[in-house]
Amino acid sequence: MHSENYIKLEFLSKSSNEAFARSAAAAFAAQLDPTLEELGDIKTAVSEAVTNCIVHAYPEELGRIAMRLRILEGGILEISVRDWGRGIENVEQAMKPLFTTGGEERSGMGFTIMGSFMDKLRVRSTPGKGTTVLMQRGLRQRRRL
């Protein structure tokens, strides 16, 4: 699908960068004139994806996280969050609600939350090589006066 606009960002897997990623995604999505609710959904999904990288991909070290956002034809926002960390052994199992490898303090709802706020969610992972989360959300075009 043809991209009308895009950005690429790369940052360290520091928890302080999660807020940066949320803000960057919201600022980029703003050109589609989303509602406040839509912006909140986008920020939450990005937050979950980036937090998964921080907690699961690089649990004992800092690593790279790359985020790419694209605006596709028809007002579709596509968000890709990638890491080069531990990877996921069983993606299907990891996407089940309440499954976590992050210990008691983790809810295991990250992928479920991402999927509930996005129209499409796809996860690709290779153990020892990293994970890519691809999300899409159509933003309805509002009439301008």
Residue 119: DSSP 8-state? S
Residue pair 119/136 in contact (Cβ under 8 Å)? The answer is yes
Of 17, 52, 82, 137, the active-site residue reads: 52
Residue 7 binned pLDDT confidence (cut-offs 50, 70, 90): very high
pLDDT of residue 103: 52
- Mean pLDDT score, 78-97: 85
Among the listed ranges 20-29, 122-131, 132-141, which one has the minimum average pLDDT value? 132-141
Of 38, 48, 86, 137, the active-site residue reads: 48
Q: Active site includes 48?
A: yes
Q: Active site includes 52?
A: yes
Contacts of 69 (CB under 8 A, 6+ apart): 6, 7, 24, 25, 28, 29, 77, 78, 79, 80
Q: Does residue 138 surpass a pLDDT of 60?
A: yes
Q: Active site includes 104?
A: no
Residue 31: DSSP 8-state? G
pLDDT of residue 113: 84
Return the CATH fold of 3-138.
Heat Shock Protein 90 (3.30.565)
pLDDT one-digit tens code per residue, 88-116: 887 777 767 655 555 555 556 778 888 88
Q: If residue 81 lies in a helix (H) or strand (E), which one and from where to where? A: strand 76-83
How far, in Å, CA of 46 to CA of 41, rounded?
9
Q: Does residue 74 surpass a pLDDT of 80?
A: yes
CA angle 16, 70, 91 (to 5 degrees): 65
Of 4, 64, 68, 106, the active-site residue reads: 106
- Name the residue among 137, 14, 34 with its Cα closest to residue 80: 137
